[in-house]
Structure 1
């Protein structure tokens, strides 16, 4: 008996190592101080694009929380006198947890918000109940990939307050928790070992195994009810070995109720215009928001976070990265979040304009400035971008003579049209981008050093796709339906072999090349499934270059180096992405003589 208790305690402790709040929380030093006003607090939450924040005292110890909704209501009903946050924050509705507590016990607390503290009761992070639901598949995936026992996985699943099912590569249910069993009215033991379609109504987990594509927040009808589900493929050694499905019990009825309540409120107040009508009337529908940039990798999240931060200022930004990485999308996203968003976004490709025309294109010209000049003159890009953003793409292609004039405009904030003497004030944000090494160009005398420093106040570097392979499944999930709709063809799916080939391919053309490949496959593939034979020959793995079949190949070394680079040298994270144990990764690092100093 005593031995059984010891073994069970050991198993629980092993499980808890992978499921602590410290591993799952949103690490942040951001909090609202109790002496803040409601207006100050609302500005902070709006700038951070979040729904709630903890409130702390001067010792950074949590004393309450405040939600965006509560702040909005207080703002609407205040009588123009400043209201201190302390008087309206919530002192309940949340729970304080230690960073080493396990999230699997969170179902004991009937709260939506978790404030995470350290041994000194100081704030170290936050977590919402919705975050736990979102991150549970990843928690399970981590335990699965590091090779823990089925008993530990069973402990994790039965601690979950949502329905969880796991299938193997053949679609057979190998894990099924009690919460899911009770919901669909079946004995848990009876579900194990059965084909998933015979147990779960309208499931798509068997397709997840075939395609390797994750699906989050999709609608699935079970017993006539619309439910929100996650479907996550489980990868090992470059192959899909199973999938996890998670059922969110709240369903979508609450969303419908919220929508109906909003519509009712709009009717009562006489505001019948659509949400689109209430948006910025100066906005360009082609402008991308940062939230619309696709990618779940750590590097993409870091890049988007940095872009959001600089967007709130008027500082000049230089976006660097290889061709096809999406520099223009980031520039548009910064514009949307900036104080210049009500003005136009003007895109200029400096490499596409002939050298003898670029001055008149940027600064405009007066009537009679040269033979063939338009009557009345013409406004240049700087004038067109007044009170908005001027995006100078491929800035490295700008001739040296124009670099001098651009520098003067950035410093003096004024310019003259070609053939004119009138000064025009510049109230325009400048964002530049390049796929070239500007510092090397400075060393070679091809780019002005003073302009380089003027543009490079803040650099946002976008990593190539081969260094953020975790973005590839999300990109495929997004662009396949888009291309199918564009060409009016039935929606295509791809099998796990194709997904593996996509992940291993080096993508020298980055996201642009990936989109082109998807477009080609959608148009040329007959039938609904894209297979290896449909890929271009250069993407199809061969016996000589198969990255996973023969670990002696140099391609495996390149893959390990790439993942280590993407994870900033974090070998635990790199091992997780590669689908191998950390010890195995250390062995391969030693075997290939990889010395990572990141």
Structure 2
């Protein structure tokens, strides 16, 4: 900022009361000044010798050697060298005098200020302001279009600029950040650290909503003092770093990776916390499942494909007394019928052509002391159903080709997406087995009956896939969200998870857009009326508000009273329906 001391005309001579007329004329001519400051020997001001004083002495034919002391104007308008620039502007604009005497803190004359000086300084200031304005506009444009997040704070640690990508990453509206203390608005960045350290810092890997980011904190220094700080949040170029980090982890963990995979093949991987839901019925179902887990009764889990039946089976095993035992999974629809019996019960040496010489243990053998999960139980053949029933009743079986009874202690959890009651009526499923399996039944509702879960799962899968895919998706545009909420989800949670993975892979911005969703889904979403996008209930509400406003001639207080709602509630509805 331009200082007052920078625009004054300094004095490099001394004029006293004893200065002669000739000396005064010479100085005025050489300096092109309208007045000369007159001081004593210590440079304290005693008055001014003006051009009118000079004119008077010449008119009176005063000798050139005459001292000017009798023609000095003793009243001096002084300006302190520390006067704020804005005040000087005002003084010069309103002053009738073209020149002023400037003094320092000791009241010594140090220079004069002319209106010419002021005009030139104002011109310079204007040019500087134009340059600053251009720079500010350039900086704002650069920040608005920055690929990563940028934030700037001033000497008071208050945020003065912030880029849209940073707001998007932290899901913050600009009014909660701009002109707010950095420590309150963006505490995770710890921008205030550099005001104390006066040194640039780089954070380690941080994470929000599954998106990894690094925060650079840079102090802005002037004359050795911190006058602000810049924060740069890098989160969109970390894919390469993440890949290197993953490779390092893989190299370090390769030795135990396959061992873990082997263990997981016979271990329940999921708990109740893995069943993501905010639906009240699902929460009740999880509590029922947790109670069922404490006993040893057979559990039948029913529901459409993709609702998470297997997750319930895993969670029941993990919260049971058998949690230290093995959890063996058999998909009855995936194994050929002629191999199902040997898969279940194993076989003895030489039981059939192609059998292993030493025989093979079956799933019941492997699950002994633990849990056997029979997925898609409705696809099991009637012959195998009979043998399964016998095992459930007698807790013993024969291996294929064997003659020795094998005793087992296995808990059965079964799951199906088929209507077993109809299958029983049609003779496709044994009635006695149905009742044996249906001791405790858990019916997992489809996703279309859990609208709150749809919105909730968007956010959960976004966090998960940001970590898996190395993406930086921080949200979803309104149109895309509406399309997903309006879709029926025949494939349930499994389909939703696949759609989110696909959309996040195809997204080219920080948010999932309508066009990122698969075409098959968009074709099945019902087209909404664009003229009035409200439901029948909202239509009725809109008409009631219109009639009330007409009836009371627009008086909103009376209209609210007539409708039986609060005034603030009426204002909200007027804003919602764009009535004024």
> Under TM normalisation by the shorter chain, which class is it?
0.3 to 0.5
TM-score by length of 1: 0.46
TM-score by length of 2: 0.48
